[in-house]
């Protein structure tokens, strides 16, 4: 056993959650691979192999442990450009991108060649994009079989399989049980709604991120409080729209989020899970971030950067927030949703509206937008943003950071603060830093933006997290 393998074996023995998702341990004698947090009987060192991803372990012929469930392992957040490309591709695959299109279109979406995408993906993850996608579909199917009462055919389709026979064959070859036999062993819930789990690495300041979202919740679209976040959703798969609601709650003892949704949304469950992971920043490695930020993060190492469920929705909200209070911007956002968003019926009080998509606001009259309480210049900015999104501007974590920020700043009415704030939340860029922000300058005691950037240099490449700590410190001092 090499020194590196010995270190990984020690980490595996420690069952330390900080290692969860960073590697997987395969046991030669059982043919099973596990997360570092697994509590099974420890195998001998010589019987262990270590892999950087679940896909690599399965590609080597190992099947996932039924106890620790590798599909619940949190992801790995990256910062460098090469790893970001590989992770962006993986995130798109996780969100079901390949269910409706090809690998060539995936590469085009990332603004790289198909060959470069495949080579980069293989180098980072240790498997091809096709193998990774297959593993993801199988793990999602395993999760749906375990945690829901969906029929096997529904599980197959919701996981991205177009052929039931292909699904049955792959599942049996990987997990040594047919889907129906596997379900008999798991005793899934019989509830009408789906309940799925998302793991994260503690510490996790759930109260802080929920409070942040609650203060910006759009009336009719979102409700946050009482340990839950709820919202309406509208998603497209295979040219069919799925509308409904989701509810996210927190299970601190298990270090996971519970996601509830109606069974009608099962075909887009992969997309919903991916977006919720982004919204609640579950792929963060808090120990690494806190260690880098030092004293700034010492009092709250579990603080996360709130992401978004929908990048366009949040970006509109950011434009509305220019030079007015958070509360005032939230009120206007609610008026926009009520005026232009389609109504929806849900079992949850307060969830009545789908936020209007870019095409609707792009084609709205300026007078109608102004009637919601916007200044004319602000209304023009929102229309320009909406039209850019219709024309192909992607406000997602997979977007190219530099070009997207440049495109945003080229739009009328969007400056440095708005572009950086959108990068921080919608693009999930860990180094985004709104250095012109009033609160940031106030906490740092420096009004010159250039000097603010100098003060923030030691926090690179985690300035988005530094921003959250600066904002949090201001909130605490006001309490």
Active-site residue numbers? 437
In whole angstroms, how far apart are CA 453 and each of 275, 430, 437? Answer: 30, 15, 11
> Phi first, then psi: what are they for 345, rounded to 5°?
-95, 125
- Is the backbone peptide bond immediately before 461 cis, with ω within 30 degrees of 0? yes
The DSSP line for 53-104 is SHHHHHHTT-EE-TTT-GGGS------SHHHHHHHHHHHHHHTTGGGSS-HH
Cβ-based burial of 190 (10 A; exposed 0-12, middle 13-18, buried ≥19)? exposed
CA separation for the pair 73, 282 (Å, rounded): 10
Q: Are 452 and 282 in contact (CB under 8 A)?
A: no
Q: Are 222 and 279 in contact (CB under 8 A)?
A: no
CA separation for the pair 110, 108 (Å, rounded): 5
Q: How is residue 5 written in tokens?
A: 């393998």
CA separation for the pair 114, 122 (Å, rounded): 12
CA separation for the pair 41, 474 (Å, rounded): 48
Q: Are 252 and 139 in contact (CB under 8 A)?
A: no
Q: Are 195 and 246 in contact (CB under 8 A)?
A: no
CA separation for the pair 192, 150 (Å, rounded): 9
Q: Are 36 and 9 in contact (CB under 8 A)?
A: no
CA separation for the pair 51, 57 (Å, rounded): 6
The DSSP line for 223-240 is EEETTEEEEEEEEEETTE
Residue with tokens 């270590």: 50
């Amino acid at each position: 056993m090499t020194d590196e393998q010995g270190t990984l074996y020690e980490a595996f023995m420690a069952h330390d959650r900080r290692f969860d998702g960073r590697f997987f341990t395969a046991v030669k004698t059982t043919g099973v691979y596990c997360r570092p947090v697994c509590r099974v009987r420890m195998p001998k060192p010589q019987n262990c192999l270590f892999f950087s991803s679940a896909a690599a372990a399965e590609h080597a012929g190992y099947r996932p442990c039924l106890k620790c469930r590798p599909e619940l392992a949190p992801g790995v957040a990256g910062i460098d450009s090469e790893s970001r490309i590989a992770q962006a591709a993986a995130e798109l695959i996780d969100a079901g991108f390949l269910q409706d299109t090809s690998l060539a279109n995936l590469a085009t979406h990332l603004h790289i060649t198909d060959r470069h995408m495949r080579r980069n993906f293989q180098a980072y993850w240790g498997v091809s994009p096709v193998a990774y996608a297959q593993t993801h579909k199988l793990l999602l199917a395993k999760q749906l079989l375990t945690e829901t009462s969906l029929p096997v055919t529904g599980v197959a389709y919701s996981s991205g399989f177009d052929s039931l026979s292909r699904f049955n064959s792959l599942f049996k070859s990987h997990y040594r049980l047919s889907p129906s036999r596997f379900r008999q062993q798991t005793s899934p819930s019989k509830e009408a709604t789906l309940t799925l789990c998302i793991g994260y690495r503690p510490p996790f300041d759930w109260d802080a991120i929920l409070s942040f979202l609650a203060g910006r919740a759009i009336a009719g679209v979102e409700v946050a409080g009482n340990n839950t976040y709820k919202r309406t959703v509208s998603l497209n798969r295979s040219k069919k729209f799925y509308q409904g609601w989701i509810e996210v709650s927190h299970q601190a003892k298990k270090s996971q989020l519970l996601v509830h949704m109606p069974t009608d949304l099962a075909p887009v469950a992969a997309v919903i899970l991916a977006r919720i992971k982004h919204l609640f920043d579950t792929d963060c490695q808090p120990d690494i971030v806190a260690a880098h930020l030092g004293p700034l993060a010492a009092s709250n190492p579990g603080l996360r950067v709130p992401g978004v469920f929908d990048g366009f929705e949040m970006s509109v909200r950011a434009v509305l927030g220019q030079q007015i209070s958070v509360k005032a911007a939230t009120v206007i956002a609610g008026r926009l949703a009520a005026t232009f968003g389609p109504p929806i019926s849900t079992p949850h009080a307060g969830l009545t509206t789908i936020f209007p998509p870019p095409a609707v606001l792009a084609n709205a009259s300026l007078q109608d937008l102004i009637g919601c309480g916007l200044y004319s210049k602000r209304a023009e900015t929102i229309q320009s943003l909406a039209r850019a999104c219709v024309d192909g501007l992607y406000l997602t974590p997979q977007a190219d950071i530099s070009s997207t920020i440049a495109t945003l700043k080229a739009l009328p009415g969007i400056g440095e603060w708005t572009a950086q704030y959108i990068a921080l939340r919608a693009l999930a860029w860990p180094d985004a830093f709104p250095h012109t922000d009033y609160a940031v300058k106030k906490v740092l005691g420096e009004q010159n933006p250039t000097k603010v950037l100098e003060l923030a240099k030691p926090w690179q490449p985690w300035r988005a997290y530094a921003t959250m700590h600066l904002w949090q410190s201001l909130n605490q001092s006001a309490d």
